[in-house]
Amino acid sequence: MQHLAASIDYLLYVLVALTFAVIIYKAAILYGPGLAGKTPASRDKADIDEHVETLENGMALLAVMASAAPFVGLAGTVLHIMQALSRLSSAAIDITLISGPIATALNSTLVGLCAAVPALVAYNLMQRRIQVLHNRLLRAAKGEAR
């Protein structure tokens, strides 16, 4: 059980790093100066939709991270609490036996939330940005069609 809990802790740290890497990557694409030059030359709705689809690449991964990270953190918390309780049942009551695993359990929860909350906020802000860009492209296409 101890190895499983340690594996989940490592997974959580990888999840946090991956979350921030995806956020930085998507922010550079959606808010960076190069976006204006990458708009479709054609104002055809199909080209605009295809362009928006490319902007949405990676957004599903961000949504999965936002929803999965708290559960991975919870799994780590449960495993560390189970370790603390198993130590308590095998020895006389001593707070030092369970304080370490309980602190580690709370750390698992915190790390899971540190991945989930920024991912959720970034996902919502970036989805809004994609929608605004899509609407601007559609309005520009309608203006040219007149």
What is the CA angle 25-29-30, rounded to 5?
Answer: 115
Q: State yes or no: pLDDT of 123 exceeds 70.
A: yes
Map residue 1 onto helix, strand or coil: coil
CA distance 104 to 118: 22
Q: State yes or no: pLDDT of 46 exceeds 60.
A: yes
Q: State yes or no: pLDDT of 88 exceeds 80.
A: no
Please state, rounded to an integer, the average pLDDT across all residues of the chain.
Answer: 87
Please tell me the pTM assigned to this model: 0.82
Contact by Cβ (8 Å): 138, 52: no
Contact by Cβ (8 Å): 70, 110: no
CA distance 59 to 142: 27
Closest CA to 60 of 141, 126, 131: 126
